[in-house]
Structure 1
Amino acid sequence: MTNNMTDYEKERQCFQWDVPEYFNFATDVVDKWAGNPDKLAMLWVDEHDREVKRTFKDFKDRSCQLANLLSEKGVQPGDVVILIMPRYIEWWESFLACLRVGAIVSPGTVQLTAKDLAYRIKTARAVALITDEKTAAKVDEIKDIIPTVKFKVVVGEPREGWLHYQSSIEKYPAQFSAVKTKSTDGAILFFTSGTTGNPKMTLHTHASYPYAHKVTGKYWLDLTPDDLHWNLSDTGWGKAAWSSLFGPWHQGAALFVHHEKRFNTKRCLEVLQKYPITTFCGAPTNYRMLVLEDLSQYKFPTLRSCTGAGEPLNPEVIEIWKNHTGLTIRDGYGQTETVLVVGNFPCLPVKPGAMGKPAPGFEVEVIDDAGNVLPPGKEGDIAIRVTPARPAGLFKEYWQEPERTQRCFRGDWYITGDRAVKDEDGYFWFVGRADDVILASGYRIGPFEVESALIEHDAVAESAVVASPDDLRGEIVKAFVVLAEGYQPSPQLVKELQDHVKKVTAPYKYPREIEFVDALPKTVSGKIRRVQLREMEWAKKGKKR
């Protein structure tokens, strides 16, 4: 544990959002650390063990060169620039360059299709794209229907109709007079996957993400300038901004970046053992896969802190990881719309399976439909107080959708759309997305608790629990189960898993139906898409929820 927070209650009491009128992460944070020309900002390693080291000064210089190019090509403050590439160093350079010119960065994953790209470019009215070769090929398929795009930049091999990143920026000076951005100006536009329809556009200002993630980096990731921090996130989703950019660099920590095409558990453990990584952050899916390996074969001599976010982490996984590494994975909670708002902090005891307590700078409660704070033990909506003062780490709006934005607020509160229970000690316990909660014979059942019970059984590698329609009970609990190696589906195993859940949790929560599957549908960020399974289940039975 560092000295970033030693007294939780005192820190929360004393904390104040001291947001400056003007803020730009590139000039106010990166350039500050670049004052020491030798300060390491990144150790980048690819699948072939090729290593590249970059200082903050390198990132300052390269992003200034690209900013000059963007400016010369006509990118104005407030213009949207789409940024899509794998874990290339150029992703970080490009993000900083966009902030320097006052543009709004819109990150995306390399898994997007040509149709997805067309929707995003047209909806955001993007003026430029900076991307990798594979994505560039998809963009060329739709080039005739994206008239707002003034120019396109490709990283990698040169391509006709595109500016070549590497050779183009070399022509520009490594100094750039950055736009003086207000903290309230738009900075980032995330497309977040909705459960239905097209993704919504989440707009963040320079204060709400680039500035406010200092809370994430300092208190939850617990970083210092001496750390080497590895976050497994894809560059296309919000967690990369949390843990691969703003949080760590606020603290002057160096990033460890492993460029690989797909997550490989053995390779991940080997890398964790080989390099002097001190802090590690992954999605629950990553940890669930890692604990299926023989962890006794690995030693992580420099590792001091492990965190997880994206969805709650099952207590069983936390226990296995601790037994082998001596480290407790500290869960954290937030959304694309927020920075870290609830977490397990190093100075607090961890209750395995709990979300933790509210972060400094946020008043978070469990409330009812009328906006009243509920007592401990009562399930309700997770809400963040926004009056009298709105906290810095909250998105500005769903862009161009004022009504959708308004629906997120109830009286003095921002409603996250997630359900939880708060205990007597002030810890939050996740129940599920409001849409995911199962109503069976009058009982409310959260899928996470059933999934956590299932994963305690040796036969279960992963599971997803959803509501399935039932004429008698309204809804029943149905589990989709991915089996661990060496196990085969059978009626006997179904019965065994049902009995196991009855013993581990309240008997009425057991899955009345179990379906064995090879894999679970997931978002790019690794979250299980329960909504897809639920819709499939209801359609199969000819019902509507």
Structure 2
Amino acid sequence: MESRLDRPIADGFNAAHEACDRWARDRGRLAMIVRHPDGSSERWTFADMADASRRLANALQKAGLQRGDRFAALLNQGVDAYICALAAWRSGMVYMPLFVGFGRDALAERLNGGEPAAIVVDHRYRETFETTRKLLTCDPAVYTVTGHKGRGLMAGDRSLWAEIDRHSAEHEMANTSVSDPATLIYTSGTTGAPKGCIQPHGMLLTLIPFVRHTFALQPHDMLFTGASPGWAYGLYTTGFAVMAQGSPRVVYTGDFDPAVWLNIMEEERVTYLAAAPSAYRQLVRTAQRRGLPAQLRGATSAGEPLDAPLVEAWRALGRQSGREVGDIQDGYGQSEGAMALANLAYPDEPVIPGALASTVPGFDVGLVDEDGNEQSEQGIIALRNPRYLGSIGYRNAQEKWDARWRGEWFLTGDVARRDDKGRYWFVGRDDDLIVTSGYNVGPTEVENIVLAQPGVADAAVVAAPDQMRGAVVRAVVVADGTVPQATLTRDIQAAVKERLGRHAYPRIVDFVETLPRTETGKIRRNVLRSTRSEHP
């Protein structure tokens, strides 16, 4: 891996150089195609992105931001998020991505935890940020990505692209190392506040083996991804880790529409697709009527385990097209660790739905118990003495980071079993994290909002199976009888949508007399999960 870098790590390592500048020497090398709902498009070379991010780095430094400051971004798909991250990294600042689907409480909690010196906000989410602002204990400067005729620009804001345009492209990159902080991204768990995961510049080095051996992109390949840059999978795995290979990709700035995705893939001659299983299910339904894009040779999935019907439906599409279309290759990883398990390219056997056939080269993966003792068949997925890890700690929560280690083992918190052929089968989240449509939802965050609603006496939140989304959020509520259940259901759903986001609201609200608890008062979530049939 290190032998593929263009300079020794001992001489310094900056993610902006590795993911952009080293490829910008070829002024015509394509990095990114951005497609918009109105049919327009932009083509960005590595040199274009290097130039814009240098200009932005100068603008931020001129405004008083310094090395180590956090630079937050409330941005969706498009070139803006990647230019902002590159600008932060080349300045020695820490980039802080935020998911655009968050409600005001979720945004405020993360911004108050990260305390950014500045934030860039797309005009579509400017009002959302303004309602969040009254909850903040920090006061970041605001850069707005404006809409038509300056839409979204408010008093006191700076226009992001006006700042980029009026500053010089001459900028000296900060001298950083693989272990210096590059990104602060908040992850959700079941207890307490979301944790601020500090990802170093070397985060790229954890992902390059996965991209090389799973995507296996060749010079002629074009990747399409729908993953949001507000999450690590979109920002890094299908974003900067692909750029670090010098490969181009296509993104779409509009809402998910399977027909539009297929049109774009056909028009841009996409050869490789990266998406969540929930997106593939809808793509398959549309492609069954019109077929897959002619150039598509392969696909990858992450965020949820692949199910057998989806894998077989994809294979059937390949047979229908009369050509070779590879299986969807599954991958497993997390923000703190790495993409450590996967169905790699060029396998000896076809994909087994639900199974991860291989350890990604460069990683030593095992199954352990809570004390770090190795288990032969089932246990917590753990990484042994990783040379590079996806994180160097949690912001202001060292004790939580220390709790992830058992000697030489880093515990992911996810449980898997290993069969007699060495394949890994995902069992569940050790901390009850809910994965819905590829998004992580912490039950505690939702529970706090549900419990605050008038009419709720007690509540618990768990996952419920769902054919399209893999899982949905389910709230199990004990009502106090003061509010009609139909009204209470609507109030709960509206409150979670507003405060956390649409991805996190409970699509199912069940009412019970009491919640099952242990002798010490802990909710028995396993009992709750087993008392509801699959959501239609």
Query: Deviation string for 1:338-374 (max 9, x for gaps)?
Result: 2210001012232222022111111001123442322
Residues of 2 paired with 1:407 and 1:307: CA distance? Answer: 32
Mapped to 2, the partners of 1:256 and 1:434 lie a distance apart of 35
Output one character per residue of 1:313-341: Cα deviation in whole Å (capped at 9) or x when no partner: 11220111011023200000001212210
Q: Is the 8 A contact 1:215 1:247 kept in 2?
A: no
Written as runs of structure 1 = structure 2, the 5 A alignment for 1:296-445 is: 296-325=289-318, 326-348=325-347, 349=349, 350-375=351-376, 378-386=377-385, 390-436=386-432
Is the Cα–Cα contact under 8 Å of residues 224 and 252 in structure 1 kept in the other structure? no
Following TM superposition, by how much is the alpha carbon of 1:481 offset from its aligned partner in structure 2, in angstroms?
4.8
User: Which one of 242, 247, 251 corresponds to residue 236 of structure 2?
Assistant: 242
Partners of 1:537 and 1:365 in 2: how far apart? 38
The alpha carbon displacement at 1:189 in A equals: 0.5
- Whole-Å separation in 2 of the counterparts to 1:101 and 1:117: 25
Post-superposition offset of 1:251: 1.0
Mapped pair 1:263 → 2:256 = yes
In the TM superposition, residue 198 of structure 1 has moved relative to its aligned partner by 2.4
CA contact (8 A) 2:190 2:432 kept: no
Instruction: Report the counterpart of residue 219 of structure 1 in structure 2.
Output: 213
Counterpart of 2:167, as a letter, is: Y
- Quick one: distance in 2 between partners of 1:227 and 1:328? 17
For residues 255 and 427 of structure 1, what CA distance do their matches in structure 2 show?
Answer: 31
Q: Does structure 2 conserve the Cα–Cα contact (< 8 Å) formed by 1:128 and 1:150?
A: yes
Residue aligned with 2:108, SS: helix
Post-superposition offset of 1:292: 3.1
The 2-side partners of 1:93 and 1:86 are apart by: 13
Find 1:183's aligned residue among 156, 178, 187: 178
Return closer, same or farther for 1:184/1:360 CA change in 2, 3 Å cut-off: same
Distance 1:482 1:333 in 2: 20
Q: Runs of 5+ in structure 2 lacking a partner?
A: 2-7, 319-324, 437-442, 444-461, 470-492, 517-522, 525-536
Partners of 1:526 and 1:232 lie apart in 2 by 19
1:94 aligns with 2:84: yes
Secondary structure, counterpart of 2:286 in structure 1: coil
Contact residue 331 and residue 356 of structure 1 kept, 8 A: no
**Structure 2 letter corresponding to 1:351:** I
Change in CA separation of 1:369 and 1:92 when aligned onto 2, cut-off 3 Å? closer
| Amino acid in the other structure paired with 1:429 | W
Give SS of 1:174's match: coil
> For residue 515 of structure 2, what is the aligned residue in structure 1?
542
Give secondary structure in 1 for the equivalent of 2:22: helix
Query: What is the CA distance between 1:55 and its match in structure 2?
Result: 0.6
The aligned amino acid for 2:352 is K
SS at match of 1:76: coil
User: Displacement, 1:102?
Assistant: 0.7
SS at match of 1:374: coil
**Partners of 1:413 and 1:188 in 2: how far apart?**
23
Q: 1:374 to 1:190 in 2, by over 3 A?
A: same
Structure 2: distance between partners of 1:527 and 1:298: 31
Q: Partner of 1:134 in structure 2?
A: 124
CA distance in 2, matches of 1:177, 1:483: 48
For residue 539 of structure 1, report the CA deviation from its aligned partner. Answer: 6.2
Aligned match of 1:499:
none
TM-fit CA distance, 1:59:
0.3
Q: Deviations over 1:453-498 (max 9, x none)?
A: xxxxxxxxxxxxx9xxxxxxxxxx99655699xxxxxxxxxxxxxx
C-alpha distance in 1, partners of 2:219/2:283? 28
CA distance in 2, matches of 1:540, 1:273: 54
Question: Contact between 2:106 and 2:500, CA under 8 Å: does it hold in 1?
Answer: no
Contact 1:107 1:190 (C-alpha < 8 Å) held by counterparts: yes
Aligned equivalent of 1:4 = none
Cα distance in structure 2, aligned partners of 1:66 and 1:394: 26
| SS of 1:291 mapped into structure 2 | helix
Displacement of 1:22 after TM fit?
Answer: 1.6
1:142-153 to 2 correspondence within 5 Å? Answer: 142-143=132-133, 146=136, 148-153=138-143
Which moves more between the two structures, 209-218 or 119-128? 209-218
Alignment-derived partner of residue 519 in structure 2: none
Aligned residues: 449
| Alpha carbons 1:306, 1:329 under 8 Å: kept | yes
Distance 1:21 1:527 in 2: 45
* Contact residue 273 and residue 298 of structure 1 kept, 8 A: no
Q: Displacement, 1:46?
A: 0.7
Question: How many Å separate the matches in 1 of 2:235 and 2:430?
Answer: 26
Q: How much does 1:147 deviate?
A: 5.9
SS in 2 for 1:61: helix
**Mapped contact 2:19–2:241 kept (Cα < 8 A):** no
Q: CA RMSD in A?
A: 3.2
Q: Find the aligned partners of 2:10 and 2:219 in 1 and give their Cα distance.
A: 23
The aligned runs of 1:56-75 (5 Å cut-off) are 56-75=46-65
Counterpart residue number, 1:275? 268
Task: Write the distance in 2 (CA, Å) between the matches of 1:525 and 1:101.
Answer: 32
The whole-number CA distance in structure 2 between the counterparts of 1:525 and 1:210 is: 29
After superposition, give the CA deviation of every residue in 1:70-91 in whole Å (9 maximum; x if it has no partner). Answer: 1111111111111111212211
The answer to whether the 8 A contact 2:278-2:468 is kept is: no
Moved more, 86-95 or 268-277: 268-277
Range with greater deviation from structure 2 (231-240 or 193-202): 193-202
Q: Which runs of 5+ in 1 are unaligned?
A: 1-10, 12-17, 438-446, 452-465, 467-476, 485-518
CA distance in 2, matches of 1:481, 1:426: 29
Displacement of 1:144 in angstroms is 5.5
1:92-136: per-residue Cα shift (whole Å, max 9, x none)? 111110111111111011122233332222211210101111333
Q: Distance in 2 between matches of 1:323 and 1:433?
A: 31
